[in-house]
Chains A and B, each alone.
Chain A
């Protein structure tokens, strides 16, 4: 951390939480239907989770990183805020990703947000395990498959296949998975 941010941090004990509030306000902005991340207090969870995961000693560095992009944003206009957060993402993508994901987790665990989701017709409980969901039981009459497809090979019918054409001894498939 540089000297300036140290001094600032010293004089504004809430600096980190203010900066985080601005950050989560950009990550999860509000609109007429959804509250913003800031409105539901994601910044507070984020601060605590940061301590749990990265340790108390990491807070000054976090504060410094946010101060370095101009947070708290004060009078910055929308475009400048967006650019500031984009810069943060570009400068430290991994850490940024952690903060973004942690913000998402905190946001969607909030009662107000769960209420919005239910209001949209998607059933969601804050703690589903307690009471579960009412689901119609399996209906044997209509839901038992009737396609008749599928086969299996009995033990005594397992027959030798010729693997010689496969050339499995050679490493041929170097391009595999999603990048082919």
Chain B
């Protein structure tokens, strides 16, 4: 064991979206910050985007499913249901994300008041709103303000992305139905911004090595490093340690280059290892911060179903940013639909590759082999549009990640298991969503539509879980939550959880703008209260 005598001000575990923001804020405040990340930097050439076989590699080496990619920087997650999508390395899952960038709505924070099947958040939309604006400016976002289905917002730092033929076709379909639609907000810049070039519309939005999409390794980490943060890569944290006073004293980690175990001590520990990595680490650290029993529970992925439609006229949706518009028509609860909560349509463009389309993109509808193959592709590639409906799933303590009793990883840490099954409300919502997708297809004049419910042959819901949230949720009751409204552990007063696991509800949209705004807010709280946090032995409700 290599143990250093020095005590760092702040130790951050995980360098993804939220670890990056914490490192930036705290290093810019002059604090001595170290971040431990189990993976390495992803160099531009490591991305598959400029390889000739990039579309094949998106199924293999660049597959966001941690169990299919099997990269040494990752770790296995035994799942009996969901596909576990994440990336492990500097910038975390943003290395492979799509950067669709919508905000939560005020009612998302008040579901306890609305129906009581989910908790209220300890904070309100109004408290987070200024942080949304600031995060947008830090990472670089495009979009159009003025959406009547959302609270007013400032102008996006860059204007909306091109509104291609697929977007126009869908907009007409939503108009015909009398439903809301609005151009998409994206963590992608439509003009040069902050030293990064504008999006070139390549359509390959699984990460973006040129920097037009905000990968946090490119938009935030440079600022954190310039401010003096130390980032240790290939440093896999094995457990968090605590002292007799109940405070976190630091962490034991494995140096994956030398193989040595090392100890880092710190005054404040920030966990930013995502909705799976964080509960795993806490559970493996002697069930740390888990007096509520909620660590790992209430896993949320969103209700998710998809559709692919084909239209006669070319829409050439292989070009341009992956998403085109949102529809928030069904975002609020309407009990007459037979369920609580709402959902959002995330309208995509299409896959940029004919190979992906032929082999089954989004709905597993494949080109026939043999005589009909070329006609199929000729009528469908350049004619397809995809969209998702994504909704607010109800939390269940049985949907969870938990330590596996039998298997350990190469470092002796128990393997994490995942179980997720949609509940009654979720199933009703997904039925409704699928029916509305057929309405969209009809209104768009599609000659064919295919749906995706993500159920396998045995009926198991195997959602592509790019959103893994809720597993260390925040609240104002220590018995019902893991952290308070400032992300501070109820049990370990100098330990903060800033990643997506703290979200108390999932909202009806992709979560990273909210996760990022919250992380910025929590980091500033730590900065402003650092002196007290350096010695306090008590967490008080926010």
Residues in A lying within 8 Å of B, measured CB to CB: 26-29, 31, 33-34, 45, 49, 52-53, 82, 85, 100-102, 104-109, 113, 117, 120-140, 143-145, 147-155, 158-163, 165-166, 168-173, 176-180
Contact = CB atoms under 8 A, between A and B. Distances in A.
Interface stretch (B50-58, B130-138, B214-222, B236-244): B50-58
A129 B49 contact: yes
Contacts of B436: none
Contacts of A100: 359, 366, 369
Contacts of B9: none
B378 interface: yes
Contact of A138 (B113, B163, B179, B371): B163
Contacts of B371: 29
B373 A140 contact: no
B340 interface: yes
Contacts of B366: 100-101
B459 to A, nearest CB: 8
Contacts, number: 238
B117 A168 contact: yes
B149 A109 contact: no
B355 interface: yes
Sort chain B's interface into a size bin: 35 or more
A73 B56 CA distance: 28
A40 B360 CA distance: 22
A45 B542 CA distance: 59
B328 to A, nearest CB: 6
B138 to A, nearest CB: 23
Contacts of B105: 152-153
Given A126-B52, A138-B163, A108 B353 contact: yes
Contacts of A85: 369-370
Given A155-B125, A178-B453, A135 B381 contact: no
Contacts of A162: 335
B81 interface: no
What does DSSP make chain B's interface, helix, strand, loop or mixed? loop
B541 interface: no
Nearest to B367: A104
Given A29-B371, A136-B162, A124 B202 contact: no
Interface stretch (B275-283, B426-434, B480-488, B513-521): B426-434
What does DSSP make chain A's interface, helix, strand, loop or mixed? loop
A143 B424 contact: no
Contact of A166 (B208, B335, B373): B335
B354 interface: yes
Given A128-B352, A163-B115, A177-B455, A26 B431 contact: no
A137 B190 contact: yes
Given A117-B354, A177-B434, 18 more contacts: A105-B355, A127-B50, A129-B202, A130-B50, A130-B202, A132-B201, A132-B202, A150-B149, A151-B149, A152-B331, A155-B109, A155-B126, A158-B114, A161-B333, A163-B116, A176-B453, A178-B434, A178-B455
A35 B204 CA distance: 26
B319 A123 contact: yes
B200 A133 contact: yes
Closest 4 CB pairs of A and B: A132-B200, A150-B149, A177-B453, A108-B355
Interface of B: 49-56, 59-60, 105-107, 109-110, 113-117, 124-126, 144, 146-151, 159-164, 171, 175, 178-183, 190, 199-204, 208-210, 305, 314, 316, 318-320, 328-329, 331-333, 335, 338-340, 352-356, 358-360, 366-367, 369-371, 373-374, 378, 381-382, 423-425, 427-428, 430-431, 434, 451, 453-455, 459
B124 to A, nearest CB: 5
B319 A163 contact: no
Contacts of A130: 50, 202
Contact of B54 (A127, A134, A139, A144): A127
A138 B159 contact: yes
22 contacts: A27-B370, A29-B371, A45-B53, A101-B360, A122-B314, A123-B316, A127-B51, A128-B204, A133-B319, A135-B164, A135-B320, A138-B160, A144-B146, A145-B171, A150-B150, A150-B180, A152-B151, A153-B105, A155-B124, A158-B107, A163-B117, A163-B340
A26 B159 contact: no
Nearest to B149: A150
